[in-house]
A and B are shown apart, each in its own frame.
Chain A
Amino acid sequence: MKALAAKSGVWAGYLAVLLLLPLIFDSILAISIFNQMAIAIVFALSYNMLLGQGGMLSFGHAVYFGLGGFLAVHALLMMENEAVYFSIAFIPLIGGLTGLLAGVFIGSFSTRKAGTVFAMISLGIGELVAASSLIFTGFFGGEAGVSGDRTFGPPLFGMDFFSDVDVYYLAAFWVFVSTVFMYLFTRTPAGRMANAVRDNPERAEFIGYSARWVRFISFCASGMFAGVAGGLFALNYEFLTDENLNLVTSGRVLLMAYIGGLGFFIGPIIGAIILTLMNFLLSNYTELWLLYLGIMFVLTVLFLPRGFAGFIMMHRLAWLRGSLHTLALPYLLTGLPALLFVLCAVCLLELSHAAEPVLHFLGLSLARDSVTVWAGLLLLATLGWYLTRKSVPGLRRAWEAANAPDADAAREQAT
């Protein structure tokens, strides 16, 4: 009962945040960031359904996103031509249905195997659809893409969808509904079996489940929610190109889900928020942000295989033991030099790429061609690196002490 109350509290909080966000940050830029986040959250969650919960690594998830989006744009166009007339609140549903249909068709042959074979089929289909989108220009619009107009439908609750805020509330509704349903899916027998098949398909088959059928169900559901995200994208941008179908988009959703953390339901949400924010904040300041993203991604795979959510959840044990505070100082001792190193490294990268002779970085004005600046930064970076390396053993010891089974006993003895 208590757990149920806590859970409904979390969901109520989620809903409240979704509803209150545009009231707190009401600038046009903030709203457009939120819209993009909403799309990214649904898309990344749908991807996690596949990879995190079903163990199917897909390099072509953008297919369902893009197809859903294209159908949604065509629905908008039909509305514009007065062929149909319904509220655009249902547009994401059209995207979802398209994604579901595509999932049923493609999943019917691609879910036979998981692992490398599945990854390769998804890559092949992704490339096939992306290349076809440039050939069949009637439907996909070629390189120019297809654009629609969302304002031709009837108004809904007094919203006519001229402004981005209206779209945000619509998107927030769909994000909430999709999140609830995707969460509930993980609780159904189908969702549970997806985990089992991911971990050990042979055992699942011995119990009497068809691994392929279980994968197929996850795959279709995942395609459907990707389609919903595509529909939201169509509503927000009113514009789709072949890029929404190709490997770039597929790769981006993989990055989001992985950086956020695959094993956790909340992981992709974190990843979607981080990446969208990074996209907006960094791409305005630097041309190199994709390089930083690449470095961050590779480092995440190397050192945080369970992503940011996994990193946070790592501290659960220490939290339960009440020894979390003992980690604060070691973290600070490692974190500060690491931050120094990262800042210096970023500064050096920017400096080597600066177009103007003076680079403004964190309130500093640095001369691009000055040897002193370069030498100083190199020195600081080396210092940061050295101190970080030096403090890591201490952090490891503190970590082990905080998580040791006898931590409680040891502390009681000490007092």
Chain B
Amino acid sequence: MPEVLVFATLNGLVTGLLLFMLASGLTVIFSMMGVLNFAHASFYMLGAYFAYSISLYFGYWTGLILAPLIVGVLGALVERYGLRRVHQHGHVAELVFTFGLAFLIEEAVQFFWGQDTKNYQTPDLLDFPLFTLFGQEFSAYRGFMLAISIGIFIGLYQVLTRSRVGLIIQAAISHPHMVANLGHNVPLIFTAVFGVGTALAGLAGVIAGPVLTTFPGMALVLGSIVFVIVVIGGLGSLPGAFLASLLIGLLQSYAIAANVGMPDLLALLGLEFPRSHPLDDLWTLNLSQIAPILPFLLLVLVLIFRPTGLMGKREQ
């Protein structure tokens, strides 16, 4: 039992921190522009694909550096020539635009890279077990993912709270007109933050690509979960997003690892149902089966009982 717990925790942390890399960009972009970027996970997918293509020619490490940069530039272009234009038509139009963009990017990826799964491999350098615990191996690559995610988290936190740039960004979020009056180019700040946010998503894609497989549906798989995290954490709250990322990561990991379900619960209650019962699916439900829907269940519950999210401040 303890080995299951330890590995579930470690895997949950890896997933959670990876999710936070996406959620952090999404949150900052939301608090700035008031729009949830539906296409955020699509940039994550683009990161993985760019890195895959680059790694074919120049190796993994070049991809790790170049792919997020390319994705960031693409993101900045989308903000400058797409979102800013749609902004005048209101939030619904912006949300619909990013939704269309997500759709378009998925089709474009299939156009350029095809529909099959790409054989994007972990680099040889990290292809060894980091440590062995209870006879189970924890790969060095997962350790690397953990390290990068934590590094990004600390770096982002430091930049946003300690540096001058971070102060200006924070000021531009709450009082854009005042910041503009002080002589800062607020639209440029918005574009830059959007670019950095999408670059972070791209970086997440680069490091997640080899583990979570690189295929055209990868944005859809993660996209809605990242949305869930941002909403559960409280729209616009970075600490909330961090908390929610870890919560969802661990929750899913534990649910998959736990080998319990309705049969155990029924046995505990001393109940028994015949196999042909109309609700048979319900009585034989396993916790690992419902792991994919747990985040959405949590989302609906949070939105009903605490619409501002865990750490959200203002009512949207």
Contacts and interface: CB of A to CB of B under 8 A. Distances in A.
A17 interface: no
B95 interface: yes
A43 interface: no
11 contacts: A57-B96, A121-B300, A124-B296, A124-B300, A135-B293, A136-B281, A291-B108, A294-B108, A298-B82, A298-B100, A353-B111
B316 A57 contact: no
A125 B95 contact: no
A144 to B, nearest CB: 14
Interface string B190-219: 000000000000000000000000000000
Contact of A135 (B107, B110, B289): B289
B137 interface: no
Interface in A245-278: 247, 251, 254-255, 258
A404 interface: no
Q: Which 7 A-B pairs have the closest CB atoms?
A: A294-B104, A124-B299, A291-B107, A131-B293, A128-B296, A297-B100, A298-B100
Nearest to B101: A298
Given A115-B316, A131-B292, 4 more contacts: A116-B235, A121-B300, A138-B280, A291-B108
Given A57-B96, A298-B100, A135 B111 contact: no
Contacts of A251: 99, 103
B310 interface: no
Nearest to A297: B100
Interface residues of A, number: 44
A-side binding surface: helix, strand, loop or mixed? helix
B297 interface: yes
Contacts of A255: 100, 103
B316 A117 contact: yes
A112 B36 contact: no
Interface in A286-315: 288, 290-291, 293-295, 297-298, 301-302, 305
Contacts of B292: 131
B227 A120 contact: yes
Nearest to A292: B107
Interface stretch (B17-25, B83-91, B157-165, B263-271): B83-91
A294 B281 contact: no
Contacts of A301: 86, 93, 96-97, 100
B96 A124 contact: no
Nearest to B286: A135
A120 B100 contact: no
A116 B101 contact: no
Contacts of A293: 103, 107
Q: Which of A124, A125, A255, A305 is most buried by chain B, counting CB atoms within 10 A of its CB?
A: A124
Contacts, number: 114
A288 B111 contact: yes
Contacts of A137: 281
B107 A290 contact: yes
Contacts of B92: 51, 55, 57, 115
Contacts of B101: 298
Given A57-B92, A127-B224, A298-B104, A116 B316 contact: yes
Given A131-B292, A294-B104, A305-B89, A124 B303 contact: yes
B89 A128 contact: no
Interface string A102-146: 000000011011011101110111011001100111110000000
A298 B110 CA distance: 17
Q: Is the interface of B mostly helix, strand, loop or mixed?
A: helix
A73 to B, nearest CB: 17
Nearest to A294: B104
B125 interface: no
Interface in B255-285: 278-282, 285
A349 B104 contact: no
> How many B residues touch the partner, as a band?
35 or more
Contacts of B227: 120, 123
Given A109-B304, A251-B103, A353-B111, A302 B296 contact: no
Nearest to A124: B299
A135 B285 contact: yes
B77 to A, nearest CB: 13
B231 interface: yes
Given A291-B111, A301-B93, A301-B100, A135 B299 contact: no
Contacts of B278: 138
A3 to B, nearest CB: 31
B228 interface: yes
Contacts of A294: 100, 103-104, 106-108
Contact of B281 (A138, A258, A302): A138
Contacts of B82: 298, 302
B72 to A, nearest CB: 20
Contacts of B93: 301, 305
B316 A247 contact: no
Contacts of B224: 123, 127, 247
A117 B303 contact: yes
Nearest to A131: B293
A254 B96 CA distance: 8
Contacts of A254: 96, 99
Nearest to A127: B296
Nearest to A59: B99
Given A57-B96, A116-B91, A254-B96, A135 B104 contact: no
B300 A258 contact: no
B147 interface: no
Interface string B102-130: 01101110110000000000000000000
B290 interface: yes
Contacts of B104: 291, 294-295, 297-298
A132 B289 CA distance: 10
A135 B92 CA distance: 33
Nearest to B301: A124
B220 interface: yes
A131 B285 CA distance: 13
